[in-house]
Structure 1
């Protein structure tokens, strides 16, 4: 190759690099671009702390108490764990000592309560072992996985996704988070829900098929878990409908009560 040819090749290469840089500049500029509108941060209050817990994702496990699995028509001895998600803006925070108004949602005529222990993660990872899973938990809260049961059942019967029954506004009712440093981990303890003073759900955390540690481990096989993730750990049997005017009282041994009124 003579010197003229080499200069031609070098010049062509320089032009190609310059063109690539020009094309990538807008993409690079986008990283510093301002959003066209702002979205509120989704957070959960922390008991005894000024800071709040920022929520990244909401995971929920299905049919995690044997008796509830049976009442939902499943065989708990054969079913591996399965999970679904709710949008983070479905969270309704409920303060300790308050009876929060909870709006009866649209489209449903069969609105159900599901009381649950909720774990909040401070860190995460992939393929976490059950022995190390609880090291990632920041704290715990009392929650309600509210469900438009008729819509969930209808979609399930058609073998279609049932987010419409689970992932709607205010579907993730939640009390404040209590740090593990103050409560320890919850592997057992009475959990219950009463409607207008009549107990409906009444069980113990030790009846969960998959423990919180096992749930974290199983989830991390499918997703990279991260700080800010929260996990609804399943509900006991005797879920049932609520109507406007009903007052729900949720209890979990070791945590303050949580209460809402359907409006």
Structure 2
């Protein structure tokens, strides 16, 4: 029987000398800040230490986009690193930033453990992804893999170039690919009908997390009902923190329990 458990999501931010960012590289620092042209910043903190660092290499447990307004948006908070796995942001690299400064491409290794592996013991397994961050809003607009991750930005425009790629690489990278609130809630309801007891959490994680959904699609008159339904479902599942986040964004004091 094959059991898989994610041990980490290693995010390597690959340096390009022409990228419109400023970053410091202090290996002894407890915090690192990368400033983007538009006034926002990416801040890394909580470095791996001891056994964690020995197992996964140098990295950070937390990354937050600080918007120009000062508001902070954590990246992948629903997959925060813990002893059994989660998100690790690799150190000593910078993002691949588009010429306008709007997008930053992050190189991601989704590393896990296959137990038992082919030799009968637990073995590491990983796959590369390249999520695209909107540096102004904090929205992760896409999370591609494979040959798309081998591209780079054009020197003069926000065009993603992949040598030999026969499709529209820019569209694949910059077009929003995750479910919005209405679609996600409909998908959840269908899953409940088909499978019975289903948690909404995985639906949220599949769209890079609740905060990401709300950063990419802020509440409006057409999606408020779905956000309210998602919040009530989170409360039923015991996740009051994420429900409270929705409540705050919607401007409600309390949801009907």
Check whether TM > 0.5. no
What TM-score, normalized to structure 1? Answer: 0.26
Q: Which has the larger radius of gyration?
A: 1
Structure with more contact order per residue of length (Cα contacts < 8 Å, sep ≥ 6): 1
